[in-house]
Amino acid sequence: MDELLSQFLIEARELIAQAGDDFEGLARDPADSARIDSAFRAIHTLKGSVAIFDMAPAGRALHAAEDVLDRARAGRHRLGPSDVDALVAVLDQTDRWVDAMERDGALSSRAGAQADALLARLQSDIARPFEPPAAETPPWLPALLAREAAAIEVAVSDLVAFRYTPDSECFFRGEDPLATVAALPGLIALAILPNAAWPAIDEFEPFQCLVTVEGLSAAAFDDVRTAFRFVTDQVTLFSVTPATPAETQTAAAKSLRIDTARIDALADGVGELIVANHALAHVAAEADRVDPQIGAQVRAAHAAMERAVSGMGRSVMAVRLVSLGPSLRRLPRMVREITATLGKAVRFEVSGESIEVDKGIADDLFEPLLHLVRNALDHGIEPGAVRREAGKPETGLLRLAVTREGDQVVVALADDGAGIDTARVRATAVERGLLDRDAAAALDEMQAMRLIFAPGFSTAATISTVSGRGVGMDAVKAAIDRLGGRVEIGSVPGQGTTIRLRLPLNAILTRLLIVRAGGERYGIPLDRIVETTSVPTEHIHDVGGGRSCVLRDRALPVLSLAALLGAEDRRSPFTKLLVTENAAEPVGVIVDGFGQRIDGLVRPKTGLMAGVRGLAGTTTLGDGGVLLVLDLAELVA
């Protein structure tokens, strides 16, 4: 994608989010002047940005929205609820237009008509001609900036560029343009320019003003405007922000946009350092055998290195942390669209969106979350009439809350709808052939609820266009699994459903448990392991084609890791079991032994290994050996 466009997409969405926040505030208090100001600035900047691209309809709609806000700002118009609704509609449409630019690189042919509809809603003074924002940078400015580059370079604050073209008859009215300029505060550059080539001195007309005065002032914009107050019709002012060179960046420039690929490279480097440092522990043990004194020195060096490296790791992770806000802020618009389609009234509340997560998670969370939101609006929250009969408020409530719990982020989506009807879930699962009637009846409530995450399940009797066919809740679970997260579900019939997504804050290093099987060592991501235990071998029975054992009064299917990997099982009186989950059901996996827990940088499998089933990737051990990291879910499936 062209860099200008990708930059635009980022900035436009930030501005849309900002304006969206402000409109939300204005919906509560339409007279909030700080909100009006902030929304005006966001819309104004957005209008300027869209002008760079072939987005004229967006420019028109935003111009009208800006006009409404500008009049509200000047106190010439009192914003009402219908104004705020219309402004939100413009913003939502702009968001869709931005999506279209990303997808198609152009607006659809209907954009013009859509803009017209928005203009009608805004009731703005459409007769006022639309000035393209490009014209807002005055044509005289570039020459001035070039001429006064030296003065701008040493400027430390915003400057005001002015161009004063005195009326040619002004001398007759007793005006002295130079006296006005002499009284300007903060003058840092001045040029007196002839309006046309200077006439020969013999033909000079001394009582006509033939010049224009241009310059820069370091004073505040309003002060400069005040100095020119008697000649406002002859003066143009423009605010100029000096571009600060990098080496003199001060508090003014605190943030920096960096390509995430560079951060990833940095994170990879830190990961390699951690692994390299593991090797040092090994060296320390070796050195200990030869000379304990050298061993102690190496150990001390290792410890110092470990502190430094883990500090670095934390810094890199912190760089990758981004607020969830930008990913979540598109949801309110989606909720408005979906509820409009469904004809339901739903209030959508978001909290905790400022919590920061790894960028990878923030990017990949939107799709599954949108699916959950759709599902809650479509299947969870009942139609108004049904709610009224049930004695609930007719307007449904959907609440998205982001919280931090230790090293996890919990994204909870709660609706106050009908809740999950587990009897119907069981019936549907049986109907779809996911399990038989007895097995369904044997499931406890929680297990029955989790059936909605099974592939090929959908609880709605009719599949509506909103939730769509094709993608089910299983896709949501798969997406969250990929992020190293878990999905939890809770539901009270008649009161609503809450779905919690638990996601790791740290996506760079994976906690691994080293296990032995078939004479080899393997790494297994700790987040895949429910528990590790040891059972008497005689308690494992052959049942039909497979094996099972009873663990805490529950039958557990058991598989052998060695057998899964095509090796021999080792027999011993006690069998070590690792319990994992397959399709929300616990499964026991027999291993020969458990090793240490390590933090490893898991590299995706490449080349020949790419096709190997059950392999998640590889990581490097402290002794330089390569550890195969297993994808348990794939192995036991």
Partner 1 sequence: MSVAFAADSIRLTGDCSVEEAETLLALLQENATASIDIKDCGRLHMAVMQVLLAAARPVRGDPANAFVREWLVPQMLTSIY
Residue written as tokens 């900002």? 18
CA 407 to chain centre: 19
| Contact pick of 2, 104, 146, 207 for partner 1 (by CB under 8 A) | 207
- Residue among 272, 273, 280, 319 nearest 300 (CA): 280
Residues with Cβ < 8 Å from 303, sequence gap 6 or more?
none
Size of the site for partner 1 (CB under 8 A): 24
E strands present in 241-343: 321-323
Residue 229 CB, nearest approach to partner 1 (Å):
18
In angstroms, the Cα distances linking 541 to 406, 532, 557, 590, 592 are 40, 19, 10, 13, 18
Site for partner 1 in 415-444 (CB under 8 A): none
Can you count the helices (H) and strands (E) in the chain? 21, 23
- Residue among 188, 190, 191 nearest 155 (CA): 188
Residue 200 CB, nearest approach to partner 1 (Å):
8
Longest dimension (CA), the chain: 121
What character string, x for contact with partner 1 (CB under 8 A) and - otherwise, covers 211-240?
A: x-----------------------------
d(CA 474, CA 489): 13
Residue 157 CB, nearest approach to partner 1 (Å):
21
CA 584 to chain centre: 28
| Contact pick of 209, 224, 451, 562 for partner 1 (by CB under 8 A) | 209
Nearer to partner 1, 117 or 190 (CB): 190
* Pairing verdict, β 510-517 and 520-525: antiparallel
What character string, x for contact with partner 1 (CB under 8 A) and - otherwise, covers 109-148?
A: ----------------------------------------
Nearer to partner 1, 206 or 545 (CB): 206
Nearer to partner 1, 127 or 179 (CB): 179
Residue 210 CB, nearest approach to partner 1 (Å):
6
Residue 187 CB, nearest approach to partner 1 (Å):
7
d(CA 122, CA 422): 47
Q: Label residues 406-427 b or e (16+ Cβ within 10 Å = b).
A: eebbbbbbbbbbbbbbbeebbe
Residue 213 CB, nearest approach to partner 1 (Å):
8
Residue 223 CB, nearest approach to partner 1 (Å):
17
Check if the beta carbon of residue 557 is closer than 8 Å to that of residue 547: yes
The number of beta carbons lying within 10 Å of the beta carbon of residue 86 is: 21
Nearer to partner 1, 80 or 194 (CB): 194
What character string, x for contact with partner 1 (CB under 8 A) and - otherwise, covers 148-167?
A: ------------------x-
Residue 87 CB, nearest approach to partner 1 (Å):
47
Nearer to partner 1, 209 or 591 (CB): 209
Residue 206 CB, nearest approach to partner 1 (Å):
4
Site for partner 1 in 167-206 (CB under 8 A): 171, 176-179, 181-182, 187, 190-194, 198-199, 201-202, 204, 206
Beta strands across the sheet bearing 520-525: 593-600, 510-517, 520-525, 626-630, 615-620, 603-604
Q: What share of the chain is helix, strand, coil (3-state, %, to 5)?
A: 45, 25, 30
Nearer to partner 1, 168 or 395 (CB): 168
The number of beta carbons lying within 10 Å of the beta carbon of residue 11 is: 15
Check if the beta carbon of residue 300 is closer than 8 Å to that of residue 281: no
Nearer to partner 1, 50 or 181 (CB): 181
Residue 137 CB, nearest approach to partner 1 (Å):
23
Tokens of 158: 């915003």
Site for partner 1 in 38-57 (CB under 8 A): none
Nearer to partner 1, 207 or 461 (CB): 207
Nearer to partner 1, 207 or 406 (CB): 207
Nearer to partner 1, 201 or 290 (CB): 201
Terminal-to-terminal C-alpha distance of the chain: 39
Residue 222 CB, nearest approach to partner 1 (Å):
22
Nearer to partner 1, 215 or 600 (CB): 215
Region near partner 1 per CB under 8 A, out of 34-42, 209-217, 377-385, 436-444: 209-217
Q: Is the dihedral of CA 431, 432, 436, 440 positive or negative?
A: negative
Nearer to partner 1, 193 or 489 (CB): 193
Check if the beta carbon of residue 158 is closer than 8 Å to that of residue 241: yes
Residue 175 CB, nearest approach to partner 1 (Å):
8
Nearer to partner 1, 187 or 400 (CB): 187
Q: Label residues 606-615 b or e (16+ Cβ within 10 Å = b).
A: eeeeeeeebb
CA 465 to chain centre: 26
Residue 150 CB, nearest approach to partner 1 (Å):
13
Check if the beta carbon of residue 380 is closer than 8 Å to that of residue 470: no
Q: Does 573 bind partner 1 (CB under 8 A)?
A: no
Write out the residues near partner 1 by the rule CB under 8 A: 166, 171, 176-179, 181-182, 187, 190-194, 198-199, 201-202, 204, 206-207, 209-211
